[in-house]
Each structure stands twice: as structure tokens, then as C-alpha cells.
Amino acid sequence: MLIQRALSRARVLSTSRYFSSLSSIQMQTINLPKSPPFSFSSNNHGCNFLKSKPSSVSSPYSTAAFSLGKSSRKGVVPLAALLQIGGVQIAKDDVVKENDPTNNVPDSIFAKLGMQLHRRENHPLGILKKTIYDYFDINFPGKFEKFDDLCPIVTVKQNFDDVLVPPDHVSRSYNDTYYVNSDTVLRCHTSAHQAELFRNGHTHFLVTGDVYRRDSIDGTHYPVFHQMEGVRVFSPEDWSGSDMDGTAYAAADLKRSLEGLAKHLFGAVEMRWVDTYFPFTNPSYELEIFFQGKWLEVLGCGVTEQAILHASGRTDIVAWAFGLGLERLAMVLFDIPDIRLFWSSDERFTSQFSEGKLGVKFKPFSKFPPCYKDMSFWINDGFTENNLCEIVRGIAGDLVEEVTLIDNFTNKKGMTSHCYRITYRSMERSLTDDEINELQEQVREAVQNKLNVVLR
């Protein structure tokens, strides 16, 4: 009931209150492909939980950062009991529910809510966000509204239905998405806010925020990352006299605008457009650039499906939309080799970046040795690699660098064995044998108990 009351409250508030002043700034699983192929790169205006009375907060939908305190075990940060989202205090028990079969949000993910790396001016993600803002402010003065503080707790309808994700799409599975309950998720993409912004009359906007997906563990994948989505709406008077229909006009403007953005970020580079498919745009494209000797995908985009626009009450408009992953681009622009570094508070990392300085190359401050631990077990029909990685991350945190399947076979009885190699490595210090052995033993016990596999 508390959840529904908070959700109802959120929906009646004006969209204009969703952003800060621009001057400041498990359940059943299925063995399916890991990541949604439709995402632009891979939002909700109201949070679904009400634990206490609203406090005095300038933006009622802000996800304010919270204090984590000191670590009780090296590499693992203790969890805050309360998180402030949308002007209300959110208890961990409202987001992390171990005994609720419709909830698969672990402590480690709750700990990331509210950290908002994209709003830190001297952080690579904040620097990149501001550089993109600058491009749109220069080329479209006064047109694009910026939303970077929208609540990441959204309804299933907002995250999937409103952007035409098919009911049977893999991205809806508990293997891919973090569910708070059967009707509520942590947003998988910033597109989750698009439909509501349309309904509230916004015609030019950029939405930036943290997004959440259950995923593998390696140097380029992390269960929390950041996206930016851009949308521009056109009315009939915009394309009249252009000898093009609305769709063609919007597509031409889209390509011209995004080629300009690519030049703004990467300089004079060779570009190419690749036709693709997204459920929420038609036609759909990916923009690639030839950078540092290879083709790099920069973003996905397209002309918004009319069904999305019609749901906003308008039948005479067209729109384009794009989406990009901030970490993906920042790793290239700043030469950052490991996605975990974005979450580092080590001054040897944070001191290297300053507001307004895009493309400053990261200088590695150390290279600590890795520690490899192998683990073999007989899997069952419900086993998925995402569930394994979730357990490993929950125990070892950012001390785990990679989880790799190095061997698998099926015996004459039809039983399948997997052998995974877990690479432990801190980005900030050397790890001791005793420390790694303790973590590995915890991992083995948890994998056996939670995934119902048989260790070998």
C-alpha cells in the first residue's frame, strides 16, 4: 500500500519539478541472451516507495547521495539504511527484499542508488555530459531542456510498455532486469521517461541518468552505468515546403545533428550510418566513427514510432530520438581501461580530471597483480551466468575484475559441468592470499546454496 500511495503521489506532480535548476547542477530465471539487443546504448518521475514524511529537498525527484561510512571488510562498503529519493526517505527493506520472490535487487545495487556520477562536475562522466550539453546549447540555443535527476525506480509500464518493448522480449526477464516487485523495476534505460515527458508537452529534451542491468563481469560491463537520451519533436510547419514528409525530414535533421555531435566530441573523423532495429524507432540507425584505427559505435537513434507519440495525445507530430552510453564513450575519450574505475574515490584517479577538460588521458597510477581462482560445478536447467555474477559481485564487490567460462562439458548421463575462472584484482592495493581465499570460500558456499548447483 505504501508503494502504491507513493506512486500515485508521484504521478500528479508537475513534470517541471522533476529536474534541478539548470544553473546547478531472481524469482524464476530463464537461460536467455544476456543483454537487450534493442537498447540505444542501454527513466520515472516518481519513486514507488514512501517510508517517512517528505523532507525539505530542492528537487522532489532527486536521488541524493548518501553516506556509506567506513568499510567493515576491505573492498566491501557497508550499506546505508536509508536513501533519499524524491524527497522521501527510502529504507533498504523497501528496495531489497530477500524473502520476496518478485524482488531480485541485491544490497550491492541499492548501494549505488543516489550516487549520480553523471552530476559530478569533475568526474569523467560529468565532464562528458556537460560537453554534450554545450553542443546542443550552441547549436539549438534555448531549446533543449535537461533532465539529469529523474528517479531510477520506474514502473514496468514506463520501462517497457511505453516504449513498445514486446511482452516476450528477453529484456523483461528477471535474468536481465532488477525487479523491486512484479510491477516496479530499476530502469534499464533512460527511455523509461520518454512517454511521460511527451505527455507533459516537452518537445526538446536531454535525459541523463544511472541505469541498471544484470550483466557479466569484465572490464567493460558493470550492472550500473549511465546513459543520455535526446529527443526533438517536429510539427507540420517545420517540414512544410521541404519536399519531404515528416519522417524523412526528421531523419535528415537527426543525422545532421548527430554528425555534428560526433565531431564536437571526437574531431574531424570519418563516419558511417548503419541501419538497425529498435522497437521504439523506425527507421533506426547506429552512428559509427573511424577512431584510433577501428570503427566505433557511438550511439543508436531513429525516428520515434508514431504509437509512442499518439499515446501523448498528438497525432500530427514526428520526433527523433538518440541514446548513448556515457561510460562507453568516456572510456575511449579518457583512455580509462576498466569500467570499475568510474566508481573509484581514490585521489590518484579523481585528481586527474577537471571540469571542462574533455579527453584528458588517464594515467595509470599502479598495476596490482591479479589472483585467479577456478570453480567447477554441475549446473541445473535454471542456471544463468548473470545469477552467478550477481553472487560474486555481492560478495567481492569491485575486487572482482572478471568472471570467465573457461571449460564446459556434458557427460554420458547428460549432466553439464561449467568451470569459471574468477579474477580478483584491486585497482588500489595488493590483495593478500588470506583475503582472496576467504572471499572465494564465501563465493563457493553462496553459489552452491543459492543456485542449487553441485560443486566439483
**Number of continuous H segments (helices) and E segments (strands) in the chain:** 13, 16
- Give the residues across from 353 on adjacent strands: none
Higher pLDDT, 30 or 208: 208
| pLDDT, greater one: 257 or 85 | 257
Using CA atoms, how far apart are residues 13 and 155, in angstroms rounded to an integer? 16
Is pLDDT at 78 greater than 70 in this prediction?
no
For residues 256-260, average pLDDT: 97
Find out whether 225 and 210 touch, Cβ atoms under 8 Å.
yes
Residue 45 has pLDDT above 80, yes or no: no
Under 8 Å between Cβ of 90 and 111: no
| Residue range 426-441, pLDDT digits in tens | 988 899 999 999 999 9
pLDDT of res. 341: 96
pLDDT band at 88 (very low <50, low <70, confident <90, very high): low
Percent of the chain with pLDDT over 90: 74
pLDDT band of 89, cuts 50, 70, 90: low
pLDDT in tens, 370-418: 999 999 999 999 999 999 999 999 999 999 999 999 999 999 999 999 9
Q: Picking from 80-94, 117-131, 199-213, which range would have the lowest pLDDT averaged per residue?
A: 80-94
Q: What rounded mean pLDDT belongs to the chain?
A: 83
Give the residue-averaged pLDDT of 107-119: 92
> Residue 238: its pLDDT value, please?
95
> What pLDDT does 424 receive?
96
Tell me the average pLDDT across 114-123.
Answer: 94
Mean pLDDT of 202-218: 96
Contacts of 414 by beta carbon, 8 Å cutoff, 6+ apart: none
**Residue for grid cell 516487485:** 181
Binning pLDDT at 50, 70 and 90, where does residue 62 land? very low
What is the residue-wise DSSP string for 233-296?
Answer: EE-HHHHTTTTS-HHHHHHHHHHHHHHHHHHHHH-S-EEEEEEEEETTEEEEEEEEEEETTEEE
Q: How confident is the model at residue 292 (pLDDT cuts 50, 70, 90)?
A: confident
Give yes or no for residue 44 having a pLDDT over 90: no
Question: Could you tell me which residues come within 8 angstroms of residue 132 by beta carbon, excluding any fewer than 6 positions away?
Answer: 206, 228, 261, 264, 265
pLDDT tens, position by position, 27-41: 333 333 333 333 444
CA 38 from centre of chain: 14
**Tens digits of per-residue pLDDT, 124-137?**
999 999 999 999 99
Helix axes 124-139, 326-333, angle to 10 degrees: 100
Q: What is the mean pLDDT of residues 128-157?
A: 96
pLDDT-based confidence at residue 57 (cuts at 50, 70, 90): very low
Lowest mean pLDDT among 30-44, 190-204, 292-306, 318-332: 30-44
The pLDDT value recorded for residue 26 is: 32
Rounded CA-CA distance 10/270 in Å is: 45
